Amino acid sequence: MKLYHEVCEAHVAHIVSIDLKSESFSCAIDEDAKARAQTMYGKLLW
C-alpha cells in the first residue's frame, strides 16, 4: 500500500499501475505512457 501512495505522489500512476487485489506484488508499466513522459522530460507544460 505504501508503494501505491508513493507512485501516486510522484505523479506516475498513469505509467505504473499496481494491482492491490493480487495476493503477491504485481505491477505493470504502460510503455506508451512511459515513452510520452520521456519525450516531455524537462519541458514545462501549461
pLDDT in tens, 1-46: 788 888 888 888 889 998 888 888 888 999 999 888 888 877 765 5
Q: Give this prediction's pTM.
A: 0.66
Residue at 46 is within a domain? no
Q: Which of 32, 7, 39 is nearest to 20 (CA)?
A: 7
Residue labelled with grid coordinates 505493470? 28
Residue at 14 is within a domain? yes
Q: Are 7 and 18 in contact (CB under 8 A)?
A: yes
Q: What domain count does the chain have?
A: 1
Residue at 33 is within a domain? yes
Report d(CA 22, CA 45) in Å as an integer. 35
Residue at 11 is within a domain? yes
Residue at 10 is within a domain? yes
Residue at 27 is within a domain? yes
CA angle 26, 28, 13 (to 5 degrees): 105
Domain region containing 18: 2-40
